[in-house]
């Protein structure tokens, strides 16, 4: 399953001191960073890794 479908960033919106990416299937935190942009980047990187693996078959 594509990670973009189940990885979520919490809290929603800007202004927090720390953001966490969690797996919505298990509610486990898989990445955290003070910058929301870094969390978004991490989710996109996971999505691109998934696409590359799918293309390789």
Q: What residue spans define the domains of the chain?
A: 3-56
Residue 22: CB atoms within 10 Å: 17
Pairing verdict, β 28-33 and 7-10:
unpaired
Percent pLDDT > 70 in the chain is 100
3-state class (DSSP) for residue 32: strand
Binned at pLDDT 50, 70 and 90, residue 44 comes out as very high
Residue for token digits 């955290």? 32
Residue 5: both structure tokens together: 């479908």
Q: What is the pTM of this model?
A: 0.89
Nearest to 36 by CA among 17, 56, 55: 17
């Amino acid at each position: 399953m594509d990670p973009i479908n189940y990885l979520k960033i919490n809290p929603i919106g800007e202004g927090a001191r720390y953001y966490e990416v969690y797996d919505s299937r298990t509610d486990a935190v898989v990445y955290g960073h003070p910058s929301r942009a870094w969390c978004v980047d991490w989710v996109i990187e996971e999505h691109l890794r998934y696409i590359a693996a799918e293309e390789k078959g």
